[in-house]
Amino acid sequence: MTARAPPTVLVIMGVSGSGKTTVGKALAKRLGWTFQEGDDFHPPANIAKMKAGIPLDDADRAPWLAKVQAWISDQLAEGESGVIACSALKRTYRDALVDGRDNVILVYLSGSKALIASRLKSRRGHFMPPALLDSQLAALEAPEPLEKPIMDAIDQPIPAQIEAILHALAERLGAPMT
Ligand SMILES: Nc1ncnc2c1ncn2[C@@H]1O[C@H](COP(=O)(O)OP(=O)(O)OP(=O)(O)O)[C@@H](O)[C@H]1O
Ligand SMILES: [Mg+2]
């Protein structure tokens, strides 16, 4: 992108284990954009709950969502593009994050429950227990066409996922991505 192009923020969304952190980091590196882990905005009480296998409710998620929202707005206000990993499971959360802006783009990592469960099972050193997958899937409201998500299938190697996202992004922005 040229320096004059408007800044863009990609919100990498999907359930726990869909690959948000992995894909988001690789994508940000490839684009030379800032990466932010959305989970880092959870207050300690939320992390403790999730570690204990207790699903978060809307009230738990409110302070986290406000921080994610602020990060996106600050990035754009500074003229910086970025990538944030954020489950954004519900439409109301996404509407708050996108806030009608064309340059806040959802990237939805979608895959089968079996594949996600197997990735969670073999993942090490993460606070999210695999048992929370059912509650994540129950909370998930998949993005609707009106939300214009970039769809990315997770049943392919990460480099292929990145290429697919870059391709869709270039079409969306009308400019080749580096
Ligand atoms: N395309 C892929 N192929 C193989 N393994 C993958 C792929 N994508 C992600 N993984 C692996 O799946 C696991 C889950 O990925 P990751 O931790 O990035 O998910 P997440 O969406 O950030 O989860 P959480 O919401 O719990 O933070 C990791 O061990 C990661 O290395
Ligand atoms: Mg993650």
Give the tens place of pLDDT for each residue, 101-133: 999 999 999 999 999 999 999 998 887 788 889
Give the pLDDT of residue 4.
53
Query: Could you say which DSSP state residue 38 is in?
Result: G
Highest mean pLDDT among 57-61, 154-158, 173-177: 154-158
Q: Is 103 helix (H, G, I), strand (E, B) or coil?
A: coil
> Which whole number is the average pLDDT over 68-85?
98
What whole-number distance in Å separates Cα of residue 20 and Cα of residue 15? 8
> Residue 72: pLDDT band by 50, 70, 90 thresholds?
very high
Substitution candidate for ligand 1 out of 93, 119, 154, 156 with most atoms within 8 A of CB = 119
Ligand 1 pocket check for 136: Cβ under 6 Å:
no
Give the Cα-Cα-Cα angle 91, 33, 56 (nearest 5 degrees): 35
Count CB neighbours of 77 within 10 A: 9
Question: Beta strands of 26-88 (E only): which ranges?
Answer: 34-37, 82-85
> Residue 12: pLDDT band by 50, 70, 90 thresholds?
very high
Give the pLDDT of residue 5.
67
Distance 25 CA to ligand 2 centre (A): 10
- Does pTM top 0.85 for this prediction? yes
Give the pLDDT of residue 124.
85
- pLDDT > 90 fraction of the chain, expressed in percent and rounded: 86
**Could you give all domains of the chain from N- to C-terminal order, each with its CATH number?**
28-171 (3.40.50.300)
Substitution candidate for ligand 1 out of 15, 22, 35 with most atoms within 8 A of CB = 22
Give the pLDDT of residue 2.
47
Give the pLDDT of residue 178.
63
Question: pLDDT tens for residues 126-149?
Answer: 877 888 899 999 999 999 999 999
